Amino acid sequence: MGVLHCKVNYVKGLPPTLFDAPQCVWGILDKPMFSRDKRLTFLVWITVQRLDFLSSPMDLSKITSFKVDGSIKLSDRETHEDFGASYKQLKKELKHIRKDLGDFQDTVYAHGKYSVLVCLQGMDTAGKDSLIREVFKDFNVRGVVVHSFKVPTELELKHDYLWRHYIALPAKGKFGVFNRTHYENVLVTRVHPEYIMGEHIPGVHTVADIDQKFWDRRFDQINDFEKHIANTGTIVFKFFLHLSKEEQRQRLLRRLNLKRKNWKFSPGDLKERDLWDKYLTCYEEAINKTSKPHAPWYVVPADNKKAARVSVASILWEELKKYQDIKEPELPAKISADLDSYKEMLQKEKG
């Protein structure tokens, strides 16, 4: 039949944008094979489908199950979720939520008593960078600060492992995003315990000295750290972007196949991939031992990047709007009473 096409001028009173969704079925209405009755039926069917698409809100109820309450097994958690939505719907949903988040950040800044810390962890290629770009796109650039923690520097190794994270915490009124976080100190260093030797910790002379008690102490230290900052006004969110091994393989292949993405690839990515199961075991224990009411973990399916962004944005928005005390401050009574006089002063300057 060739290219399918539908002319919107057959339906009076409906805007052309009703027919631009992928959910619409398009048909050739001006072919002789279609009687007038069939044409009208086809048009009505298209219109109903499109109107149903417009009126049905996306069901994000599954997001509540992403929060970690109690002990979990990552093997039982899904890595793919799309909420039954198209990419276009997901993009539209994210656009609405991030606008709300951007407005909320302005209020947090004006209120000046809270800060928000967003911690992102995940396997290589889990989509952390693009998530940060898309979720925080509508923020005032001065209202959000992103820190990507790499291999510790010589100076950082002269301090305890939490020091570089503590000094990077967001100031009151701001959002801070940790792209990889203090949890690297119970993940990468656990998979590669030899890295601990560079921290020059008293009593740790060889890798053999790094036992389960060592890691349990670290979990306690991290819990204490997060409890302290939560008690002093930092709202803590921790997201694990849960990626399947197959999806990571596909993303690594894209980095190799697309010349503009070659720079992202490192042969070390394949060496770390060989340790996939060990990393998942470490992630699972870290999440189970540090997901607390004041600093919860959320395990977010990450095989669909757009859905993962909607998930993170929606969780942030739904939790933050519970803080009813965060509001713009009121002007002092004296200034508020004189607003009309200030307006008059400025209006008199005109001309």
Per domain, the residue ranges of the chain are 8-55, 61-320
Q: Is the pTM of this model over 0.85?
A: no
Which residues, 6+ apart, have CB-to-CB distance to 184 below 8 Å?
149
Q: For residue 45, what pLDDT is reported?
A: 45
**C-alpha closest to that of 121 among 300, 291, 304:** 300
Over the chain (351 residues), the average pLDDT of each successive run of 10 is 42 48 44 48 45 61 95 97 95 97 96 97 96 96 94 96 98 97 97 96 96 98 98 98 97 93 90 96 98 98 98 98 93 89 87 59
**C-alpha closest to that of 90 among 51, 134, 33, 128:** 134
**What is d(CA 324, CA 318) in angstroms, rounded to the nearest whole number?**
12
**C-alpha closest to that of 119 among 346, 250, 312, 304:** 312
Residue 188 tokens, joined: 């990468």
Q: Are 147 and 168 in contact (CB under 8 A)?
A: yes
Q: For residue 241, what pLDDT is reported?
A: 98
Q: At what angle do helices 305-320 and 87-111 cross, to 10 degrees?
A: 30
**What is d(CA 167, CA 143) in angstroms, rounded to the nearest whole number?**
17
Q: For residue 26, what pLDDT is reported?
A: 43
Q: What letter represents residue 250's amino acid?
A: Q
CATH, domain 61-320, list 3.60.150.10, 3.30.930.10, 3.30.565.10, 3.40.50.300: 3.40.50.300
**What is d(CA 269, CA 154) in angstroms, rounded to the nearest whole number?**
24
Phi, psi of 238 (to 5 degrees): -130, 120
The alpha-helical segments, DSSP class H, found in 258-327 are: 267-273, 276-290, 305-320
**What is d(CA 5, CA 25) in angstroms, rounded to the nearest whole number?**
9
Place of tokens 């992928």: 22
Question: DSSP code of 67?
Answer: B
**What is d(CA 137, CA 225) in angstroms, rounded to the nearest whole number?**
29
**What is d(CA 64, CA 79) in angstroms, rounded to the nearest whole number?**
15
CA 279-285-291 angle, to 5 degrees, is: 120
